[in-house]
Chain A
Amino acid sequence: MIQHHAEAVVLRSWPIHEADQIISLFTRDMGKIKGVAKSAAKSRRRFGGALEPTTYVRARYTERPKQELVRLDSFEIIRSPLSAPVDYGRAAALAFFVEILEETLPDHDPQDDIFRLLIAVLEQTRVDSIWMPVTYFALWITRLLGWLPDLSRCSVCGERLAGSSSYFDAAFDGLFCERHSPGAGHGSVDGAAGALSRRAVLSADSLALAVRIFRTPASALVSEAWPRSRAADLRRFAVQSLERHLERRLTTAVALLRLGGA
């Protein structure tokens, strides 16, 4: 048996048996793992409130030979989502991070960049500030997963897009100039006329913001005003890219849409 002591973020939990729980954990060293927390519902000594999703912990766990699930021994809280006020918006943002990581990360595959991204956005996600971390996470995770197309040029003709509006569509990878945008008719990426197109516009401001996001830490952007309308098109673009690769709608994206910001 190999004992581990690692930083981790709790992603989800499922009850099993009388008082045990299966925990999905995103560790810094081993990537995503699943483990059993024995008697977690009854005994608060080893885990306390640390099994709440998005809790940043120092985890002790033991790998067992020929067992897929590790044995979770104890968690020490580094930062809990319950240390700050929670409302539906913040809960939806936290759940958005969890759902994407649960859906995209393979087990036992360390991803230090993604771990650092998660820690950065968790720290900035507050009741009055969810749209910056959600946008930042959606865009960065798309890039770190290798699913982000070139944002600087039209995916069909290679024309530079900076300084003007560009177009995207849930069905196609990439950004397009107006002439080649889906539904623009002859010469467009789908070769179709506009009536059936679901194309959306990405403003020049949002495109410039995307470039800034890739050069700026989340902590430096949080002081700016981020109403839900800011970069809503950029969020939609990133979420559509994720959903296209996952081949399904993200449940939490629907919750964010209810809040008027995705």
Chain B
Amino acid sequence: MSQFAEPMDRLIEALRKLPGIGAKTAQRLAFYILRSSAAEAEELADAVRQLKARLRLCSSCNNITDIDPCVYCSSATRSRRSICVVEEPGNIAVIEKTRSYNGLYHVLHGALSPLNGVGPEDLRAGSLVGRVQRGGVEEVILATNPTVEGEATAVYLAGLLHSLPIRVTRIATGVPAGSDIEYADEVTLARAMEGRRDI
């Protein structure tokens, strides 16, 4: 027999499915929602409903958006000559924070991951090739993570784009700004040395 009433049990079970939420945290969150006002609970429920009802993928770049095409693809001020390829929609916000890139994006929604059964056909790479083939693009920047899976994805995409008359580049990796070389690991430092430049 369950410890809680059925609606409470249902909410705890639903919350437990969220990443990083265990049984105890789910219980705590459920009790918090129970104690909050009806308006607050309704606001939360409505936010979840709206999220699912209004958000979709941009038909051009696969970013998550409430308008199609998304704000980046429909912007008149952004350069159409370059496309920055990222693994997840969240990566776009991080690159935008740098204010050093004003081109378009392409979101893969993952990376090649043999362990998780994600192969080349599961990536949204075909639409990237289509965008490049339609013309106007001069450079594709591969900004997948510097992990084994991210590197494998970058190499795979570079192979797909190889025959097209564009520049394909990979983001640099190296020592983080403001850090201490003493604490950099060997792989990162080796890559920083490989990617050194004249000053």
Please, how many angstroms separate the alpha-carbon atoms of A94 and B147 in the complex? 13
B-contact 0/1 string along A48-63, CB 8 Å cutoff: 1110111000000000
How many residues belonging to A are interface residues under a CB distance threshold of 8 Å? Answer: 35
How many residues belonging to B are interface residues under a CB distance threshold of 8 Å? Answer: 27
Asked if B112 CB lies within 8 Å of chain A CBs, one says: yes
A48 touches B151 (CB 8 A): no
A44-B179, A86-B148, A88-B155 known; A255 vs B187 contact (CB < 8 Å) = no
Per a CB cutoff under 8 Å, which of A15, A52, A83, A95 touches B114?
A95
Please, how many angstroms separate the alpha-carbon atoms of A254 and B120 in the complex? 13
B-contact 0/1 string along A27-47, CB 8 Å cutoff: 000000000000000001100
- A interface list, Cβ under 8 A from B: 12, 15-17, 44-45, 48-50, 52-54, 77, 80-83, 85-88, 90-92, 94-96, 98-99, 251-252, 254-256, 258
B147 touches A52 (CB 8 A): yes
Please, how many angstroms separate the alpha-carbon atoms of A77 and B117 in the complex? 28
Q: Which residue of A lies closest to B155 (CB)?
A: A87
User: A260 CB to closest chain B CB, in angstroms?
Assistant: 13
B155 touches A85 (CB 8 A): yes
Please, how many angstroms separate the alpha-carbon atoms of A12 and B156 in the complex? 23
Question: Per DSSP, are chain B's interface residues mostly helix, strand or loop, or mixed?
Answer: helix
Per a CB cutoff under 8 Å, which of A50, A95, A96 touches B185?
A50
A–B Cβ pairs within 8 angstroms, 21 of them = A44-B176, A44-B184, A45-B183, A48-B188, A49-B146, A52-B148, A53-B115, A54-B148, A80-B187, A81-B148, A82-B187, A83-B186, A86-B151, A88-B152, A88-B155, A88-B156, A90-B148, A91-B148, A251-B117, A255-B114, A255-B117
| 3 cross-chain pairs, A with B, having the tightest CB-CB distances, nearest first | A48-B185, A255-B114, A91-B152
User: A97 CB to closest chain B CB, in angstroms?
Assistant: 10
Per a CB cutoff under 8 Å, which of B20, B115, B148, B152 touches A15?
B20
User: B177 CB to closest chain A CB, in angstroms?
Assistant: 12
User: B111 CB to closest chain A CB, in angstroms?
Assistant: 9
Number of A-B pairs, beta carbon distance below 8 Å: 89
Q: Which residues of B contact A44 (CB under 8 A)?
A: 176, 179, 183-185, 188
B152 touches A99 (CB 8 A): no
Residue among A12, A91, A254, A255 with the highest chain B CB neighbour number at 10 A: A91
Per a CB cutoff under 8 Å, which of A77, A86, A252 touches B155?
A86
A90 touches B152 (CB 8 A): yes
B183 touches A77 (CB 8 A): no
Please, how many angstroms separate the alpha-carbon atoms of A99 and B185 in the complex? 26
A87 touches B148 (CB 8 A): no
A98 touches B152 (CB 8 A): no
Please, how many angstroms separate the alpha-carbon atoms of A251 and B147 in the complex? 20
Q: Which residues of A contact B116 (CB under 8 A)?
A: 251
B156 touches A98 (CB 8 A): no
B20 touches A16 (CB 8 A): yes
A-contact 0/1 string along B116-134, CB 8 Å cutoff: 1101100000000000000
